[in-house]
Structure 1
Amino acid sequence: MTKKVAVINDLSGLGRCSLTAAISVLSAMGIQTCPLPTAILSSQTEYPSYYCYDFTDKMDYFRQEWKKLGTCFSGIYTGYIASVPQIEEIFHFLDTFQTPDTFLLVDPVMGDDGMTYDMYTSEFLSAMKELTARADVITPNITEFCLLTDMDYNTLQNSSLSLHQLISCLKDASHTLLTAERAKKILITGIRFTTDDGIPKIGNLLLDGSSHFLSAFPCCDGSYSGTGDLFASCITGGLARGTSLTEMMQTAGSFLEKALADSVKEQVPVNEGVNFEKYLYLLH
């Protein structure tokens, strides 16, 4: 039977991110995607103009109707969340559908490059910490990891730490997240470093308390919309299929490396996201 995953995220008409990315990736991986929108936008928010319809007061209708139908999910994946009331709606959803056999992946979208997004407040951070405590896997970037663990982002980024020292610092800080309600794995995305022979790379670091695994690929010029959504969607699909996280990190990295290189070659505007569609076959 085809696995079902509930994906709680926004739907953006332009920008190849959020639900557009998740539905494409999970479908290519043979997973049925059941979208629950948090907001519906004409385009992702980096565009100079966009329309946004807040879906908060409609979210519980999905929960009620899916419960009436006796729906069960192999997994639940949360992405962009616009407010504390939306996180509260997600708690209701988890109370209904999260079981010991249902994994939860939380992509704690709050900021990037040391800057927080518009929806971020101290109340939002507290609610997000509660949500990540219920997750099996979380996929923060370094900015979001620092927010969740109360680390200072600037100290971490501005110091002359070697890659080994950086990983050690991240491992030490991760223990506050690992002692939560469910056994958790932390997958920190977008770690930029330079190899000993001068090659710039970007990596994703898996921490589970006892060990770590770094998957790294050559850096590409430009920061494109939706790459984090594509990566988290790949990891979600891997969890649903029973693929190991380390194997799925490598597959997702290769998929994104090709899509990014193609986008740079084609000079795709960064707001449009990456040319990932022609590389979905790598995820079959």
Structure 2
Amino acid sequence: MKKVAIIQDMSSFGKCSLTAAIPVLSVMGVQAVPLPTAVLTSQTEYPSYYCEDLTAKMRHFTDEWSKLGVTFDGIHTGFVTGKEQIENIFSFLDTFYKKGTKLLVDPVMGDRGEMYDVFTDELIGYMKELAKRADIITPNVTECCLLTRLPYDKLHSYQSNEDYLTAIREAGHQLQSMTGASVIITGLNPPAISGTEYVGNMYIDGKGSFHSLFESNGKSYSGTGDLFASVIMGGMMRGQDVEETMKLAEKFLSAAIEATVMERIPTVDGVNFETFLGMLI
């Protein structure tokens, strides 16, 4: 069985990060090996939460796993709290990233045009360096803008889907050229035409690009980006084509979101994905 090290936080409520990645990878036939960067009572969009930062503990995982002589087929990184955590990830990669290992970097830095409070220009620079080590990166639109300096507001000045998608594609090619990694930009949100709002994803590599769009309910749920990236990681471990895996992830998330809307679940609580994990087998 293939093994993937998941370097992310563990939030008890919010269905994101490790609590999203572990079940997805497990059902896709991959052993999920967590390296928690922090433990939170809930993800940070809840009105109150407690966070225990584990930066100082991360090197113990590298050291102890090294003693065991373990190897990883994949490494999946997500939210980090500062440059020291990224430095610890570099140390982890120096030890465990070997020929044949696949690295997926989800550069979690912001959403809806806003950068998370913990991030600074210096930390964005560190994230760029981490992205250069990756085989594939999965930024959302906001994170793509932060990494390429594309003004987020400019995207929402376009009056047509075509202009919006062209701008995203150009930024994606810039990011691909800058990092050498394949890029999946998530959370596309082109201008609403005839009152219909769409959301989607775009894949860019050195050969070209493709994208998908589907109708949106206009809501943003906790953990959907983590679930999407985890499906992509699982697909990589199964040797699936990226376009095939993207379609699977979108179908899985669409079903989970629809069920969540029906039950009127608050967006901070995440989506009811558990019922639909069988779709990923």
Match of 1:224 in 2: 221
Distance in 2 between residues matched to 1:179 and 1:258, nearest whole Å: 34
Tell me which of 161, 168, 171 is aligned to 1:173.
171
After TM superposition, the structure 1 stretch with the greater mean CA deviation from structure 2, 209-218 or 32-41, is 209-218
Gaps of 5+ in 2: none
CA contact (8 A) 1:221 1:264 kept: no
Tell me which of 158, 161, 164 is aligned to 1:163.
161
Question: What secondary structure, in the 3-state scheme, does the structure 1 residue paired with 2:189 have?
Answer: strand
Distance in 2 between residues matched to 1:135 and 1:116, nearest whole Å: 22
Match of 1:103 in 2: 102
Deviation (angstroms), 1:211:
1.4
Deviation (angstroms), 1:99:
1.5
Match of 2:4 in 1: 5
Q: How many residue pairs end up in the alignment?
A: 281
Deviation (angstroms), 1:198:
5.6
Distance in 1 between residues matched to 2:26 and 2:266, nearest whole Å: 26
> Does 1:236 find its partner at 2:225?
no
TM-score, reference length from structure 2: 0.96
Distance in 1 between residues matched to 2:141 and 2:172, nearest whole Å: 12
Question: What secondary structure, in the 3-state scheme, does the structure 2 residue paired with 1:11 have?
Answer: strand
Deviation (angstroms), 1:195:
7.6
Question: What secondary structure, in the 3-state scheme, does the structure 1 residue paired with 2:124 have?
Answer: helix
Distance in 1 between residues matched to 2:83 and 2:99, nearest whole Å: 25
After TM superposition, the structure 1 stretch with the greater mean CA deviation from structure 2, 197-206 or 49-58, is 197-206
Q: Which amino acid in structure 2 is aligned with residue 176 of structure 1?
A: Q
Match of 2:19 in 1: 20
- Residue 180 to residue 192, structure 1, CA distance change in 2 (3 Å): closer
Deviation (angstroms), 1:215:
2.2
Question: Any idea what the Cα deviations from partners look like across 1:248-280, whole Å, max 9, x if unmatched?
Answer: 100000100010010010001111110000000
Deviation (angstroms), 1:56:
0.2
User: Equivalent residues in 2 for 1:45-194 (5 A)?
Assistant: 45-160=44-159, 162-180=160-178, 183-193=180-190
Distance in 2 between residues matched to 1:157 and 1:200, nearest whole Å: 13
> Does 1:250 find its partner at 2:247?
yes
Tell me which of 271, 276, 279 is aligned to 2:273.
276
After TM superposition, the structure 1 stretch with the greater mean CA deviation from structure 2, 166-175 or 52-61, is 166-175
Question: Any idea what the Cα deviations from partners look like across 1:96-149, whole Å, max 9, x if unmatched?
Answer: 111220011011011111101011101100000000011111111111001111
Match of 2:204 in 1: 207
RMSD: 1.5
- Taking only the aligned residue pairs, the percentage that are identical comes to 51
Distance in 1 between residues matched to 2:84 and 2:4, nearest whole Å: 22
Q: Which amino acid in structure 2 is aligned with residue 19 of structure 1?
A: L
Q: Which amino acid in structure 2 is aligned with residue 172 of structure 1?
A: E
TM-score, reference length from structure 1: 0.95
Question: What secondary structure, in the 3-state scheme, does the structure 1 residue paired with 2:183 have?
Answer: strand
Q: Which amino acid in structure 2 is aligned with residue 259 of structure 1?
A: A
CA contact (8 A) 2:173 2:205 kept: no
Q: Which amino acid in structure 2 is aligned with residue 79 of structure 1?
A: G
User: Equivalent residues in 2 for 1:37-48 (5 A)?
Assistant: 37-48=36-47
Q: Which amino acid in structure 2 is aligned with residue 171 of structure 1?
A: R
CA contact (8 A) 1:41 1:53 kept: yes
Deviation (angstroms), 1:283:
0.3
Question: Any idea what the Cα deviations from partners look like across 1:19-47, whole Å, max 9, x if unmatched?
Answer: 00000100110110000011000111111
